[in-house]
Amino acid sequence: SNPFISSEYRTQMIDELIQVNQEYMDQGLTTELVLENADTDVAGQIQQLQNLMAKGVDAILVNPGDVNGLNATLEEAVAKGILVISVDQELNVPGVYNVGIDQKEWAKTSAQWLADKLGGEGDIVLIEGFPGHPANVARMDGVSEVLANYPNINVLATDTGRWDEATGQQVMSNFLSAYPNLDGYWTQDGMAIGALQAVMAANPAQWPVAVGEGRCQFLKLWEEALQDHPEFDSIAVANPPGVSPTGLRIAVNMLQGKQVDESKLGGANGLSFVIPVPVVITSENLQEGLDICADKPDAYLLDGIMSEQEVLDTYFK
């Protein structure tokens, strides 16, 4: 169940799910991957989940569009004996497993880098994703937690870029007009591409320190920016779409009756498979990221899908 298709992250996620499921179909372990995949609201995603239950599926992977809005429907699925796994974003729902990176820690990594680069002081703006989405809530909590340690870093404004590159560019353009002497900014996902494009277009006297994204297009834009502004600096922490096909691997092994090592689980409800962030790109290893992107399309996100053996060795008895 995927309620948000207007992003390259979700496109890559669905493509990878199809590929990994094909492995299991070839082995005769799965028969069908039922995709409920459309831009929709909470009521629409509840309908997606009802459709999956009506199909009689054995497991549901859900990338939730709301922190609490799906809880009753997910508990209904669990009560029917369906294995329910929230991928990419963590929910605190009894009986629902989570598979993903720690989104709060993911955001804290780049927020801490930004604070360090600014020497603990300066004026910044924040561009968040969709307010209310579990990952966005966790990320903004992480940013707030870091910035609470730096009273001399002033957050001049926060706006939403709706996880959209063009919207992120417009928001950043507005910020640069209002605050031409910005010291830095924090953002996430594809909005980082739009934000950097806005900086390049405005070309302020002092370029702000930028938080970027682990996507090939951003890394190439970063490389381009350095040609005229060698002092420019950024960071790209990978947010891997591969957590979802990793979730599929976990689901298939659980459905086969293999025993999860519960000592390896954590998170809000104690049922989270926390996946390590595969790569963090800074100026020190930017070339490494560009090398990864050499044969990849611009939309490709730096990724990591756990292999079957890695899943078994890491999370099962």
What was the pLDDT predicted at 268? 85
Band the pLDDT of 186: cuts 50, 70, 90. very high
Q: Are 143 and 165 in contact (CB under 8 A)?
A: no
The average pLDDT across 277-303 equals: 96
Kindly state the percentage of the chain with pLDDT values over 70: 100
Query: Which residue type sits at 294?
Result: A
d(CA 224, CA 236): 15
Of the candidates 143, 144, 172, 142, the residue with the CA atom closest to the CA atom of residue 160: 172
d(CA 125, CA 185): 5
pLDDT exceeds cutoff 90 at 6: no
Q: How far is CA 185 from CA 23, 123, 160, 170, 273, in A?
A: 42, 8, 13, 14, 31
Question: What are φ and ψ of residue 267, in 5° steps?
Answer: 85, -175
Q: Please report the beta strands in 164-302, taking only residues with DSSP state E, as ranges in sequence order.
A: 184-186, 209-211, 234-237, 272-274, 280-281
Query: Which residue type sits at 36?
Result: E
The average pLDDT across 281-305 equals: 97
pLDDT exceeds cutoff 90 at 65: yes
What was the pLDDT predicted at 7? 85
Question: What are φ and ψ of residue 206, in 5° steps?
Answer: -120, 120
